[in-house]
Amino acid sequence: MPQVVIANRLRDGIVVFLGADRRWMERVQDCAPAISPEDAEKILDLGLQAERDQEVVGPILADVEQRDDGWFPIKRREAIRAAGPTHRADLGKQAED
């Protein structure tokens, strides 16, 4: 199962996803998931280092799957973090797309 590191950005709390070159991306579609469990461990280590470097808070791994418009979390909690509150399409990342 492909996995991505998801966290909140320290400065503003905004949800971010670990992308290529250790860059934190605001859109889950721009994440760089790990395909193997070994790689997942590696990217989580990068996330934890970013937490120690005071860039992000609470990095965790989240399962993602490929959809028409790119990677998207499978679990509801992370899906809500990636999109926004389900009862208001005008809030969160879904409003910015």
Partner 1 sequence: MYRYDEYDREFVEQRAKQFARQVERRLAGELSEEQFLPLRLMNGLYLQLHAYMLRINVPYGCLNTTQLRKLAHIARVYDKGYGHWTTRQNMQFNWIKLDDMPEILLELASVEMHGIQSSGNCIRNITADEYAGVAADELEDPRVYCELLRQWSSLHPEFSFLPRKFKIAITGARHDRAAVLAHDIGLRLHENDSGESGFEVFVGGGLGRTPFVGKSIRDFVATRDILAYCEAVLRVYNQLGRRDNKFKARIKILVHEMGAAAFAELVEKEYEFIKDGALELAKEEVERIRMHFAPPAYESLPDVSPALESQKAEDTAFATWCKNQLAAHKQPGYAIVNISCTPIGKPPGDIACDQMEALADLADEFNFGELRVTHNQNLVFTDIRKQDLHALWQKLVPLGLSTPNHGLITDTICCPGLDYCALANARSIPLAEKISERFADQERQEEIGEIYLNLSGCINACGHHHVGHIGIVGVDKKNSELYQLMLGGSADENASLGKILGPGFDEDGIVNAVEKVVDTYLEIREEGEKFIDTYRRVGPGPFKENVYRAPA
Closer CB to partner 1, residue 6 or residue 43? 6
Closer CB to partner 1, residue 21 or residue 96? 96
Q: How far is the CB of 49 from partner 1 (least distance, A)?
A: 13
Structure tokens at 31: 């994440």
- The answer for 38, left when phi > 0, alpha when psi is -120 to 50, beta otherwise, is alpha
Q: What is the rounded distance in angstroms from the CA atom of residue 39 to the CA atom of residue 88?
A: 35
Closer CB to partner 1, residue 52 or residue 67? 52
Which residues of this protein are in contact with partner 1, per CB under 8 A? 8, 10-15, 51-54, 57-58, 74-77, 80-81, 84-88, 91-92
Question: Taking Cα atoms as reference points, which of 21, 22, 96 lies closest to residue 7?
Answer: 22
